[in-house]
Chains A and B, each alone.
Chain A
Amino acid sequence: MNISLNWLSTHLDLAGKSIREIDDLLTFAGVEVEGIVPKGVSSEKIVVAQIKEAVQHPNADRLKVTQVDAGEGTLRQIVCGAQNYKVGDKVPCALPGAELPGGFTINETVMRKVESKGMLCAASEIGLPAGEDGLLILPADAEIGRPVKQLFDSDVLLELEVTPNRPDLLSHRGMARELAALLKTPLKPLPKGGTGGPPVSSSSIQIDAPDACPLYSAIRISGVTVKESPAWLKERLESIGLRPINNIVDVTNFVLHELGQPLHAFDAAKIGGGLVVRHARDGESFTALDESEHSLVGDDLVISDTTGATLALAGVMGGLASGVTETTRDIVLESAYFTSQGIRRTSRRTALSSDSSYRFERGVDPQGVIPAAALAVKLILETAGGSADAAIQLAGEAPVITKPVALDAAKLDQLMGGSIALADAEQILTRLGLSKRSDGAWEIPSFRADLQRHIDLVEEIARVHGLANVPSRMLGTFVPASAIDAAYDADMVLRRRLAALGLYECQTIKLISDAQVADALPLRPLQDGDTIRVKLPLSEDHAVMRPSMIPGLVASAVRNVRQQAKSLRLFEMGRVFRNAGGGKSKDQESETLGILLSGPTRPVGWDQAEHIADPFDLKGLVAALIPGASIRFSPKDREGFAIACDIRAGDQSIGVFARLLPSRERELDFNTPVFVAELDLGKVRKLLKGIEHVAELPQFPGSSRDAAMEVASTLPNSEIEGVITKCAEALLVDFECFDVFTDPSGAKLAADRKSLAYRFHYRASDRTLKAEEIDAAHQRVLNALSEKAGVRFR
């Protein structure tokens, strides 16, 4: 909301208060000061100058070279692009050194090879309201050389953010009332309204919806002249950034910003009979003042006439047909109390909002309805002439929306830490307009409907007292660590390990596009209905809750490839979302770790060859991440991916590995294969638990035997490992594959065969093995391999 300091000063004396003080005062009252905009000319070096000569610039069609008299005794040459002046006009001239709004300082300069010693200015360039295009033409009697700032009033525009609980601050009077309470200074009295007698109940106003409109008032003013507003009124509205329209509309806008009560003026000629406040008929059409068309529903509140014609969408916007125009002679001025919920629903549903709806939605002062109408009548009579009815007509009555609230001194003391005496607290409430009743409870003014409970009073006291005046206490209860603590610690271990293994952690947005879902590699494949879509996505790029980490990582990798990154080693940890069983089980959130590897696994150097990431790099990475878990990849097809595997640790599946389809890699402009893995963090965390007992170190030496084996090239290595594991040779403690040889040409080895070299380690825990024992054990393993896996030994 915009507040003009000059306008504010009509309600309270701010003399001697700096802008900084007012800023602090508002800030610590709970009103956020978002901007402070000085209005008017600030620099002394912008002076009145008369244009004595203007000739065409030799090198620029659109520029003229002027000679101006700025009261310096000699003429000043200034290059100027404006067209709207004539020689002899007086205009603002910014002399060298003048600072213009926006921090721009004028210097002597050369423009297209012609010297220019200053700048002739338009209104907007020196901080005045924008006028016609071109230079600001000053009055002919302006004294040459005089600072222009002396010709115009200055002001300060305060851009304020009022919290939704304080609608009473949404006007100059309301803001002044708050500042007066904080400053302990009196408010200036309000001018008297312009109607003779007290309001009278009227049968020409009919309220069919008293819940939505408990109080409605109207007054007819006849014989008005709709025209431009007087300067003071236009200036007030312009000072807070409003565009003056005509005297009638301007008065209603002025009163709204003066007192906070929205008003509306109808053209009386457009009203057939009396006024009816009723709910709209379903499907009723309405054209608002801004010419937008709306189909109304029964929940909307309208003002109609007795013929049934809809004149206004109550509290939100007037109708195009019933509005005040230049030909309007008689008006009916509305001032009413509409309850907030209905206005909010209608405003939201129709996407129509106005300064009126903004205030009604938050709540206006029911006691402010009539005084606002009275002020408006006075101002309309002053600015538009005509004559008003003797009294304001009204229907319904002002609702009572506040009730007395008691202040509990003990509770106040507890919450404030004893930092304020009860008398001081009570004084704060009194200053804020509350009054203590004989029963000790506090009477709440009608404009403070936010004060309903004890805690609301405490809030006021704490706010005005200030937290700066409350002591700090550093105490706290001991609480046990939670399962979430344990999970967090495990995740940080994983994160640090991954970083140490040369991976960068990513953070991607959890809403992805439908197209990206194709890159998802969740632990369980997705079925139709398993993805979760938001109802109204901001864009199709962010419409689906990610079911997997991989789409985000792929997108991050693509972005980096476009920036010429070669080595992609990325991971992300966090939540994934899905339904399960085709939507049978809803909204499952689980936590996973996604890994992506592509391109060189290490920097290439002067004696370091390039190694492009392959599946075994990712497998090694997973093994290093979860040491002690025997990590195995067990091939299992996944739609949309190549060489997919389940990642297994011992006998459980903990994740999925795959390569993107080569066609997908090409589509995304990857030059190297892209390998991804997604791991179930719940399972991985458990595997990180560590050991319970250390193992004894071997006391006796072991010995190893190598075996060169030839098998069909299609035989998976896991079969050989399986046979070795299954034969359960007691003396065999470990084995490893240390060479794989194939020869597609068939020269050294048949093309459909492969040669594997394994090393077997034998040891007994209770003795040094004899060579014969080792040989016998080794033979048992080899026999098993040849019998169960068809291995031939070379």
Chain B
Amino acid sequence: MKDQIPAIEADALARISAATDERALEDARVAVLGKKGSLTLAAAGMKDVPKEEKGAVGQLLNAARASITAALEAKQSALQEIADRAALAGIDTTLPARELPIGGLHPLTLIRDEAIAILRRMGFALADGPEIEDEFHCFDALNTPADHPARNEKDTFYFDSGKLLRTHTSSVQVRTMESAKPPIRIIAPGSAYRRDEIDATHLSVFNQLEGLYVASDVSLPDLKGTLEYFLQELFGSNTEVRFRPHFFPFTEPSFEIDVKLTVKGQEPRWIEVAGCGMVDPAVFEAINKSRKDQAFDPETTTGFAFGMGLDRLAMIRWGIRDIRLLIENDIRFLKQF
């Protein structure tokens, strides 16, 4: 017995060492440590070992088992390492990707969201109103005389019902003031419609962003500070902004706003981006009449309004030359944003 153990151990270690794969190693383990394995059988022989030798034989057995187990584990990890190495070899990571579908937001959404984010930081809340409007909200309340050219059937889409497609988002100013009292600080993105033939610079349906701030001491400095800040946030903090006097029926004084843009390789140019002005007292009077109260007393209420074309902002931002690209949805165009 005492002599058998070293032989069993040597044989076992040799088999383990000779194993070249998991299977052979498992066979070796079973042959030595399995139910009928050589060391298991040897251990079973302990009962026949004389009592005085039991201690020494036991020690021998344990030492043999320990060395065999250690060899098995070592071999196991060596084989695993070889297998791992084999598994990792031959992976050509320079092959092309397994592509996922990629989508994107429309440029108008991007510019609108950017503008809205800036204005919301400045404390404006969103508002909206119907696109199929009536003459009161689109024109009358906005101090636009009944024979104003914009009300022409040649310039504005009408319906048989007498309603019309709003020609500007300014109608939302009226809707908002009818249902809320000052202070009002809103922005209203939305579609507007004009009977323009569609070409490289015109769409019959286009997108605007309207703004309105009405309170008790709103002044030209507020209008100037607000819009300068907004445009510098949108176009860059060093952007020059200028206000040109203009005319709109529903604001007085009125201005158009230009920003000075530098396109690489070109002289800097002033580009018109928005219209604005102080709310005309006639608008407040019309609102009061509609509300049947004096919530917008023109003697004490002042405000400013502004509006800009989002399609135009997108065209300026990305150098889009043909506005029709914004409604054609060519994926080759959309995937660039």
Contacts and interface: CB of A to CB of B under 8 A. Distances in A.
Interface of A: 27-30, 32, 163-166, 340-341, 344-345, 348, 414-417, 419, 453, 455-456, 458-459, 462-463, 467-468, 470-482, 484-485, 488, 492, 495-496, 498-511, 532-538, 542, 545, 556, 559-560, 563, 565, 567-570, 574-575, 577, 586-587, 589, 601-603, 605-608
Contacts of A477: 123, 183, 185, 213, 215
A247 B96 CA distance: 80
B222 A502 contact: no
B224 A472 contact: yes
Contact of B191 (A458, A474, A510): A510
A602 B102 CA distance: 9
Interface of B: 95-106, 108-109, 113, 116, 120, 122-128, 130-132, 147, 149, 152-154, 157-161, 163, 165, 183-186, 191, 193, 195-198, 203-205, 213, 215, 217, 219-222, 224-226, 228-229, 242-247, 252-256, 278, 280-281, 302, 326-332, 334-335
Contacts of A485: 120, 125-126
Given A480-B125, A504-B335, A509-B204, A417 B221 contact: yes
Nearest to A472: B225
A478 B101 CA distance: 43
Given A488-B116, A509-B205, A602-B101, A479 B278 contact: no
A502 B100 CA distance: 8
Contacts of B253: 458-459, 462-463
Given A416-B220, A495-B105, A534 B157 contact: yes
B147 A344 contact: yes
B276 to A, nearest CB: 10
26 contacts: A30-B245, A348-B154, A417-B219, A467-B255, A468-B242, A471-B225, A473-B221, A474-B229, A482-B125, A485-B126, A502-B101, A503-B101, A505-B103, A506-B106, A507-B109, A508-B327, A509-B204, A509-B205, A534-B157, A536-B158, A536-B195, A538-B196, A565-B331, A605-B98, A606-B95, A607-B98
B228 A472 contact: yes
A610 B109 CA distance: 31
B255 A455 contact: no
Contact of A163 (B120, B128, B246, B326): B246
B101 A601 contact: yes
Contact of A538 (B161, B204, B302): B204
A344 B146 CA distance: 11
A579 to B, nearest CB: 10
Given A477-B183, A535-B153, A536-B158, A30 B126 contact: no
Contacts of A586: 161
Q: By DSSP majority rule, is chain B's interface helix, strand, loop, or mixed?
A: mixed
Contacts of A482: 125-127, 186
B226 A474 contact: yes
A415 B103 CA distance: 48
A577 B220 CA distance: 39
Given A536-B153, A542-B204, A575 B101 contact: no
Contacts of A456: 252
Contacts of A565: 331-332
B185 to A, nearest CB: 5
B213 A476 contact: yes
A793 to B, nearest CB: 39
A416 B229 CA distance: 19
Contacts of B326: 507
B331 A560 contact: yes
B123 A507 contact: no
A507 B109 CA distance: 9
A164 B281 CA distance: 19
Contacts of B99: 602-603, 605, 608
B328 A416 contact: no
B205 A510 contact: yes
A492 B245 CA distance: 36
Which of A348, A479, A506, A589 is packed against the most chain B CB atoms within 10 Å? Answer: A479
A506 B245 contact: no
Nearest to B157: A534
Contacts of A467: 220, 224, 242-243, 255
A415 B302 contact: yes
Contact of A27 (B97, B204, B244): B244
A459 B279 CA distance: 12
A606 B215 contact: no
B191 A535 contact: no
A345 B146 CA distance: 11
B285 to A, nearest CB: 11
B126 A589 contact: no
A458 B252 CA distance: 8
Nearest to B120: A485
Nearest to B110: A505
A605 B244 contact: no
A560 B329 contact: yes
Contacts of B256: 32
Which of B217, B253, B254 is packed against the most chain A CB atoms within 10 Å? Answer: B253
A456 B329 CA distance: 46
B132 A473 contact: no
Contacts of B158: 534-536
A351 to B, nearest CB: 9
A507 B160 contact: no
A415 B228 CA distance: 18
A348 B157 CA distance: 16
Contacts of A419: 220-221
A475 B222 contact: yes
B328 A511 contact: no
Contacts of B106: 504-507
B103 A535 contact: no
A164 B247 contact: yes
B123 A453 contact: no
Contact of B204 (A481, A511, A567): A511
A701 B113 CA distance: 47
Contacts of A502: 100-103
B219 A416 contact: yes
Contact of A560 (B105, B226, B330): B330
Closest 3 CB pairs of A and B: A502-B101, A30-B245, A163-B247
B217 to A, nearest CB: 7
Contacts of B198: 509, 538, 542
A533 B127 CA distance: 26
A28 B332 contact: no
Contacts of A348: 152, 154
Given A415-B219, A502-B101, 9 more contacts: A163-B246, A458-B253, A470-B221, A476-B222, A504-B329, A509-B198, A560-B329, A569-B101, A601-B101
B54 to A, nearest CB: 45
A479 B125 contact: yes
Nearest to A570: B329
B197 to A, nearest CB: 6
Contacts of B203: 509
A508 B132 CA distance: 18
Given A164-B247, A492-B113, A563 B329 contact: no
B247 A30 contact: yes
Contacts of A340: 147
B127 to A, nearest CB: 6
A560 B126 CA distance: 34
A417 B97 CA distance: 62
A509 B245 contact: no
B113 A536 contact: no
A589 B103 contact: no
Contacts of B229: 472, 474
Given A496-B105, A504-B334, A470 B224 contact: yes
Contacts of A474: 225-226, 229
A567 B95 contact: no
A607 B126 CA distance: 48
A563 B334 CA distance: 13
A30 B246 contact: yes
Nearest to A591: B128
Contacts of A458: 252-253
